[in-house]
Amino acid sequence: MLSVVTDYLTEALGHVEEDRSGSLAGYIPELAAADPHCLGAAFAMVDGTVYGAGDVDTAFTIQSISKPFVYALALADRGFEEVLAKVGVEPSGEAFNQISLEPGSGRPLNPMINAGAITAHSLVGSHDLDAAERTRRVIAGLSAFAGRPLSVDESVCSSEMAHAHRNLAIAHMLRSYGILDDDPRAVVDGYIRQCSVLVTARDLAIMAATLADHGLNPLSGERVVSESVIRQVLSVMATCGMYDAAGDWATQVGIPAKSGVAGGLIGALPGQVGIATFSPRLDAHGNSVRGVALFEQFSGDMGLHVMSVP
């Protein structure tokens, strides 16, 4: 079995290897220095078996792939009512960094765009945590999803913080509407540390498998969050995870997913498998070019589309 799946993954990587289109995320200087040739893919089954090919042990920053997990932590810590009062669940159809807030209330449309993710970060842990304690809780929670302690890439973190004008603008807007209660700069600082957590494609596959296994980490056996939280998170990933490419993704691939600007991409197929790919060059939506192509292959070859007849 091991070699059949690994051979399949190696072959799939071969089909996309020559594609040099897309470009590195330039707005975070440190990310523009990444090796654009990296390419890897991993499957983590809900029984804990992991298959991988290519650069599956290369570390890169999680970026927006942290968003569904941190949303899960906020729901677990504060409950649905409190979180829904501050972050909606409607697809925005806009880019990840759009300043798109619900007219009137100022509530971010969903937790997968930056406005909603910054808010979700602020809702992790109890009300009395200070910013540093909250960020530690976030990183401990991401580590529980991965089944091992994760650390922060300090140079990517400070590089992004030095250019965080847009996220700071979003946070100040949120503060002016009373969606954020805390100091906007401290929240953005914590959110950027969250985005700078180092992972490998293997880690991401396990994290996705924890979503696929309804909140149970298949490696550690730990229940990280409840089944009802996972249902909410997977639903939001399915509708909003790929930003303004969410509709294309839903029809072409049909797996709840989330991308990040360092080139990672995850998909979680409930009850079955967590999938992760890593390839840093991005398309116009900020999604990994070869990652999207790999997911299209996986979905087509194995009939993974959630709407297809089994």
CA distance 164 to 157: 10
- State how far Cα 225 lies from the chain centre: 16
- DSSP 8-class letter at 276: E
Two tokens, residue 224: 């990280």
Smallest distance, ligand GLN to C-beta of residue 275, A: 18
Q: Which residues pair with 275 in a beta bridge?
A: 43, 267
Cβ closest to ligand GLN, residue 97 vs residue 143: 97
177 carries an active-site annotation = no
Site for ligand GLN in 146-205 (CB under 6 A): 160, 167, 195
Binding-site size, ligand GLN (CB under 6 A)? 11
Q: Please check if 160 is assigned to a binding site.
A: yes
DSSP collapsed to 3 states, 79-99: CHHHHHCCCCCCCCCCCCCCC
Q: By CB under 6 A, name the one of 38, 69, 97, 115 that touches ligand GLN.
A: 97
Task: Please identify, using beta-carbon distances, which residue of 166 and 223 lies nearer to ligand GLN.
Answer: 166
Q: What is the distance between the alpha carbons of residues 200 and 202, in angstroms, rounded to a whole number?
A: 5
Minimum gap (Å) between residue 64 Cβ and ligand GLN: 3
Task: Give pairs for 171-178: CB < 8 Å, separation 24+.
Answer: 171/118, 173/99, 173/101, 173/106, 173/115, 174/101, 174/106, 174/108, 174/115, 174/118, 174/119, 176/106, 177/101, 177/105, 177/106, 177/107, 178/106
Where does 261-306 have alpha helices with state H? 289-302
Task: CB nearer to ligand GLN: give 66 or 217.
Answer: 66
The answer to whether 191 is a known ligand-binding residue is: yes
CB nearer to ligand GLN: give 213 or 244: 244
Is 191 among the residues known to form the active site? Answer: yes
- Of 141 and 215, nearer to ligand GLN (C-beta) is 141
* Contact flag: residue 207 with ligand GLN (CB under 6 A): no
167 is in an annotated binding site: yes
Q: Choose the catalytic residue: 70, 71, 191, 197.
A: 191
d(CA 286, CA 218): 30
Could you say which of 45, 204, 261, 269 contacts ligand GLN (CB under 6 A)? 261
CB of 242 to ligand GLN, least distance (A): 10
3-state secondary structure of 292: helix
Residue among 111, 125, 267, 286 that touches ligand GLN (CB under 6 A): 286
Query: Considering only CA atoms, which of 205, 186, 167 is closest in space to residue 41?
Result: 205
Per rule CB under 6 A, is residue 119 in the interface with ligand GLN?
A: no
Torsion angle defined by CA atoms of residues 110, 172, 176 and 184, in that order, rounded to the nearest 10 degrees: 90
In Å, how far from its chain's centre is CA 169? 22
Per the annotation, the verdict on 86 as an active-site residue is no
List 8, 71, 96, 249, residue binding ligand GLN (CB under 6 A): 96
Nearer to ligand GLN, 234 or 245 (CB): 245
Asked if 52 is part of the footprint of ligand GLN (rule: CB under 6 A), the reply reads: no
For residue 160, the minimal CB distance to ligand GLN (Å) is 6
* SS3 state of residue 263: coil
Q: Is 261 annotated as a binding residue?
A: yes
Residue numbers in the known binding site for substrate are 64, 114, 160, 167, 191, 243, 261
* Binding interface with ligand GLN (CB under 6 A): 63-64, 96-97, 114, 160, 167, 195, 260-261, 286
Query: Among all residues, which ones are annotated catalytic?
Result: 64, 67, 191, 243, 261
